[in-house]
Chains A and B, each alone.
Chain A
Amino acid sequence: MPGKLAAPQKAASPTAKSTCTGAEAVMRSLVAEGVDTIFGYPGGAIMPIYDALYDFNHKVNHILVRHEQGATHAAEGYARASGKVGVVFATSGPGATNLITGLADALMDSVPMVCVVGQVSSGLLGTDAFQEANIMSVCAAVTKWNYQVTDADEVADAMAKAFFIARSGKPGPVVIEVTKDAQFAELKKSFNYTPVIELPYYKKEPGFTRKKLQQAATLLNQAQRPLILAGNGVGIAGAEAALLALAEKTGTPVACTLHGLSCIATSHPLYVGMLGMHGNYAPNLLTNQADVLLAIGMRFDDRVTGNLNFYAKQAKVIHIEIDPSELNKVVKADVPLLGDALTILEQLTPLLHTYSHTEWLVEFAKLDAQEEEKVRRKALYPAKVKLTMPEVIRVLGEQTNGEAMVIADVGQHQMMAARYYPFQKHKSYFTSGGLGTMGFALPAALGAKTGAPDREVVAVIGDGCFQMTIQELATIAQYKVPVKVVVLNNNFLGMVRQWQNMFFDGRYSFVKMENPDFAEISRAFGINALRVEKREELPGAIQQMLHSEKPFLLNVLVENEENVFPMMPTGAAVDGMLLE
């Protein structure tokens, strides 16, 4: 860790003198932005910033994670739960490369994040110095913006720009790299933080015309079979109530993408289910029967559309989207509406006629009855000896009244949680949707609970995923963050096993796992835990977990070879969904 440059004298407390180092400027910028939480991990090249942090400890809560990837996912969970920008500190070299997965994840799922990383002194750049890695190049493909600061006087402006870019327009991750000499150096000018509100060549909210708005209204007013496709953008824009107002006024059914889940209560009569590969039968099939699709803050991901050649060819598409590069990228929009979902919905609804689409809704109900009969009833009330994932989610839903914030990892358990948790509150389902990052949930739940301490936060994690970031149990224990963790343990990389089962002739290639007892592991980390194997133990165990004021883990041993249905096989159209 010793750097090649001799360290200048230790920076004194910021109040003790009028001067300010680059490192202090980082801290003062964060305070000026109203940052209250940082997830980070120190190292040689970021030591001056950590030294400055020492003096700001009373203003900013720094959480020492156990791996930098954990910091990024925690920051994502924090950002999504609180609506604020997630902040990460990491050192140069391996510290910064450990951020890559989380950056890519945040870019795909539009999560605002600012990562401050250290770098070797500017004189050593390009010399293969100890812990020098070309992070600006490495990050270019996985960030919304990145910037290297080599001059202490540039810190405040770079930070202000970083926060603006991270949170505006389509949110995303930003990396600010500060060389060690810039951290140590005294500012030549006095510290001055001016928040950025616009940039010369960057449109945070591209405009839409009155004409386009009217065209959208005409389409919707004439529609006989309209369907709303609600995505991530609804929650990001805080447009849940505006969406509901539009849907209720026009009697339009609402289907959600994975990231759109919980933007409308699952019990609402207009809610018709989840779209996509393992979504609900009715909204997927009827996508190909609708005459107008109103897509809001969603990007027609291939997991949603299935085979594009057979996707909604009959429908007129209205696409509300803040990112111009998403328009016509996958599905051609008849009426594109560029901008913030809340602004647009609030202006669109007054132009719409009051209506009810009773017959159209009956079609959803009919198909849904088939799914209920062929899939849901059996899944939720299984006759199997072992517990199943859906019934665990059902009991969790009953005991939390559908009001918990569910943070799901990636795999079968993710789909089961999405399908069977009865969401009643907004902003209640967060998962790694775009990148599909195993290991997301445990650190994200830590971050989410930190960002929304009043919510009951429950992480639903597979046995494979759990072992990717299991070390964050130590962080959860150290900071006493009362997250609840449900490991749905099938001793398999279940989602991969399901594909091998269905599409590779049952040739199970490296998907079976012999796991340690996760409850024992958890207790060793200082977190209370129970192992749950029998059906009669489940309700009591979940109750005990929910009543605990401390973090708590359940290792639930579930059916090893259960498959998730319905399913849209690769290459199939939305109406080619299989019920069994």
Chain B
Amino acid sequence: MQTLKIYTENKIGVLEKVTTVFTRNRVNITTLNLRANALKDLSLICVSADISPELALKVIPQLKRIIEVADAKLKAESKL
């Protein structure tokens, strides 16, 4: 089980842009939590999925490519 912490701008449609990356990499999300203003004006999206660490690491740069994403990390190493 891997958990990713994704910090994003608090805007309409950002969650969809984030989940598209998981869909594209055939990742089935098992837990998803979104909290607006978790870190100043940023939202925090926590996504868990039953995937390998390698796949999680492959997904992260693709998440960071989304303009509204400020940061994306594996939970263990998360700090912002």
Chain A residues with CB under 8 Å of chain B are 136-137, 140-141, 144-146, 148, 165, 199-202, 323-325, 327, 329
Closest to A145 in B: B67
Contact between A140 and B17, CB atoms less than 8 A apart: yes
- Smallest CB gap from B68: residue in A: A201
Q: Which residues of chain B from 25 to 80 have any CB-CB distance to chain A below 8 Å in the complex?
A: 58, 61-62, 64-65, 67-71
| A141 and B69 contact, CB distance less than 8 A | no
15 further contact pairs, Cβ within 8 A, besides A201-B9, A327-B61: A136-B13, A136-B16, A137-B13, A137-B16, A140-B16, A140-B17, A140-B20, A141-B24, A144-B67, A145-B67, A148-B12, A165-B67, A201-B67, A201-B70, A324-B61
A325 touches B67 (CB 8 A): no
Nearest CB of chain A from residue B36's CB, rounded to whole Å? 16
Would you list 15 pairs from A and B whose C-beta atoms are within 8 A, ordered by A residue? Answer: A136-B13, A136-B16, A140-B16, A140-B20, A145-B67, A148-B12, A165-B67, A199-B67, A200-B70, A201-B67, A201-B68, A201-B69, A201-B70, A324-B64, A327-B61
- In the assembled complex, the Cα of A141 lies from the Cα of B66 at a distance in Å of 10
Residue of A nearest to B71 (CB): A201
Complex CA–CA separation, A3 to B16 (angstroms):
29
- The docked-state distance in angstroms from the alpha carbon of A199 to that of B68 is 10
Q: Which residue of B lies closest to A144 (CB)?
A: B67
Number of interface residues of B (CB under 8 A): 17
Which residues of chain B come closer than 8 Å to A140, judged between CB atoms? 13, 16-17, 20
A165 partner residues in chain B, CB cutoff 8 A: 67
- Tell me the bound Cα distance from A137 to B69 in angstroms: 17
Chain A neighbourhood of B16, CB < 8 A: 136-137, 140
Chain A residue with the shortest CB-CB distance to B24: A141
| 3 pairs of A and B residues whose beta carbons are closest in the complex | A325-B61, A201-B70, A145-B67
Expressed in whole angstroms, the minimum distance between the Cβ of A190 and any Cβ of chain B is 25
B67 contacts across to A, CB distance below 8 A:
144-145, 165, 199, 201-202
Chain A residues with CB below 8 A from B61, complex form: 324-325, 327, 329
The complex places the Cα of A418 from the Cα of B3 at a distance, in Å, of: 46
Q: Which of B13, B20, B70, B71 has the most CB of A within 10 A?
A: B13
Report how far A145 CA is from B16 CA in the complex, Å.
Answer: 13
Query: Known: A136-B13, A148-B12, A200-B70. Is A325-B20 also a contact (CB below 8 A)?
Result: no
The distance in angstroms between the C-alpha atoms of A201 and B67, with both chains bound, is: 7
- Residue in A137, A200, A202, A325 whose beta carbon sits within 8 Å of that of B62 in the complex: A325
Residues of B within 8 A of A141 (CB): 20, 24
Q: How far is the CA of A145 from the CA of B65 in the complex (A)?
A: 10
Could you tell me the distance in whole angstroms from the C-beta of A302 to the nearest C-beta in chain B? 16
Q: Which A residues are CB-close (under 8 A) to B13? A: 136-137, 140, 146, 148
CA distance A449 to B17 in the complex (A): 35
CB-based contact B65/A323 at 8 Å: yes
- State whether A325 and B65 are in contact (beta carbons under 8 Å apart), knowing that A140-B17, A201-B70 are contacts in the complex: yes
Q: In angstroms, how far is the closest chain A Cβ from the Cβ of B64? A: 7
Contacts of B17 in A (CB 8 A): 140
Which chain A positions have C-beta within 8 A of B64? 324-325
Contact digits for B7-19, partner A, Cβ 8 Å, 1 yes 0 no? 0010011001100
Q: How far is the CB of B20 from chain A (nearest CB, A)?
A: 5
